[in-house]
Amino acid sequence: MKTEDLKNSKEYKYGFTTDIENIRAPKGLNEDTIRFISKIKKEPKWMLDWRLKAYNRLKVLKEPNWQKPKYPKINYQDLYYYSAPKSSSEKPKSLDEIDPKILETYKKLGIPLVEQKRLNGIAVDAVFDSVSVATTFKGELTKKGIIFCSISEAIQKHPDLVKKYLGSVIPLSDHYFATLNSAVFTDGSFVYIPPNTKCPMELSTYFRINASETGQFERTLIIADKGSYVSYLEGCTAPMRDENQLHAANVELVALDDAEIKYSTVQNWYPGDENGVGGIYNFVTKRGACRGKNSKISWTQVETGSAITWKYPSCILQGDNSVGEFYSIAITNNFQKADTGTKMIHLGKNTKSKIISKGISAGNADNMYRGLVDISNKAINSRNYTQCDSLLMGNKCGAHTIPYIKNNNATSTIEHEATTTKINEEQLYYCNQRGLDQEEAVSLIVNGFCKEVLQQLPMEFAVEAQKLVAISLEGSVG
């Protein structure tokens, strides 16, 4: 790679800002802000009441402080909770009505919203700051009875489904950030797959933070009815800014009898600069309920961005024979910090869970795997397999593994394996001797280290994720 190419590729490619007129809620967290959000979204009263209930609950909750990465106190009264491009104050009815500037933004991000240019048949919902600006391939999905739309639209058009499932996996009062999200969430995606239906294409949501001083509080709800299957992928980017921006999302998944949900994340929020200035605080609650028998939920995450990543995509294995999986790659470079892992709660009989976590630290970064395997006394013959591997690059970074295991059942089997390795100078020399430069060698070795997780990603995204892994670590080895 030429020096110039290298220099360019090291910069955060998605750091640009779109200059667009916004409608914002007044600054600050209060009842008026919540009423403003609910009103602008033309929500029914039950939704507003739900939000206010969350807000009242929030007043008595305390922000958690047990995580490893510490951050300066967030002034919640100094944030905007709603920001939307003025041009989409009415949700556009067709793609032609979308502000060309927004279309241009997504084009720059490599997400074409024009349906003719099919992105390998992947349906996309695009969320820009606080609103969903476009959902593609709706017609094709509707024919099968699949609902894929923004959560705002679902609240209006499918209130029964939303009422039944919203908050059923992450309760209103779960914890500080989840409750904050319940009070002020702005948009996100909604998916419903009817019984015995295999969703014919990948569903994808692309989240973009554009406005400054804005928190993004997205809410996603996916329901896979009996015997159905869906694969869903989310991607995220944000402009480069000196301030830290908060992203506190809630994602709820519900899988009924014999249903399967595969949820993949490629998280590339702005990580801050090489001195640790700026970047996104990615404090996200993701939880899936395997409610039906023989159901399965599989989380795959590739976390390369954000100043701080703090999340534990989890599975509640209620149904007998249900399966939960968690595949994770967390890469931290420079001053990035991650405290991530999963929770596998075994309630049903013969439930199985598998955790594969790959943490990579470079520069001055700190990477933590924290996970819980909780086996109840009713979960007879349940199994868990956990593998946590950490790779260190250089000698200023850190890797930590904290597994919590609670077992209340003598018939269960739990396995835990963990390794920590430093990137091996001899391996690099071997690659160099075969003509690969340092960056290519690191990319090859790291992608090898992450392989078990990368191969879980839908094909269309695996290649992109491999490149992202390499780019995130550029310049981290002498």
Q: How far is the CB of 453 from other proteins (least distance, A)?
A: 10
Contacting other proteins (CB under 8 A), which of 11, 31, 437, 463? 437
The one among 39, 101, 108, 451 contacting other proteins by CB under 8 A: 451
H/E run at residue 57:
helix 45-60
Nearer to other proteins, 202 or 389 (CB): 389
List the one residue from 199, 449, 456, 471 that touches other proteins (CB under 8 A): 449
What the block records as the tokens of 127 is 């969320």
Q: With contact defined as beta carbons under 8 Å apart, do 155 and 47 qualify?
A: yes
Applying CB under 8 A, does 440 fall inside the site for other proteins?
yes
In angstroms, give the least distance from the CB of 93 to other proteins: 44
**According to CB under 8 A, which one of 74, 195, 447, 470 is a site residue for other proteins?**
447
Q: For residue 412, give the 3-state DSSP assignment.
A: coil
Please say which residue, 404 or 429, places its beta carbon nearer to other proteins.
429
Segment lying near other proteins (by CB under 8 A), choices 69-77, 150-158, 269-277, 431-439: 431-439
Part in contact with other proteins (CB under 8 A); list of ranges 97-105, 189-197, 253-261, 432-440: 432-440
Dihedrals φ, ψ of 409, to 5°?
A: -140, 120
Kindly state whether residue 432 participates in binding other proteins, applying the rule CB under 8 A. yes
Q: Are 124 and 205 in contact (CB under 8 A)?
A: yes
Tell me which of 444, 462, 470, 477 binds other proteins, using CB under 8 A: 444
How far are the Cα atoms of 84, 113, 245 from residue 20, in angstroms, in the given order?
Answer: 9, 18, 19
Binding of other proteins at residue 420 (CB under 8 A)?
no
- Strands 219-224 and 189-193 come out as parallel
64 binds other proteins (CB under 8 A): no
Dist CA 400 CA 410 (whole Å): 29
Part in contact with other proteins (CB under 8 A); list of ranges 75-83, 148-156, 296-304, 441-449: 441-449
Number of CB atoms found within 10 A of residue 78's CB: 10
C-alpha distances in Å from residue 390, one per residue of 312, 367, 417, 446: 17, 9, 11, 11
For position 2 contacting other proteins by CB under 8 A, the verdict is no
Tell how far CA 212 is from the center of its chain. Answer: 21
35 sits in which H/E element = helix 31-40
Judged by the rule CB under 8 A, the positions of this chain that interact with other proteins are: 424-427, 429-438, 440, 444-445, 447-452
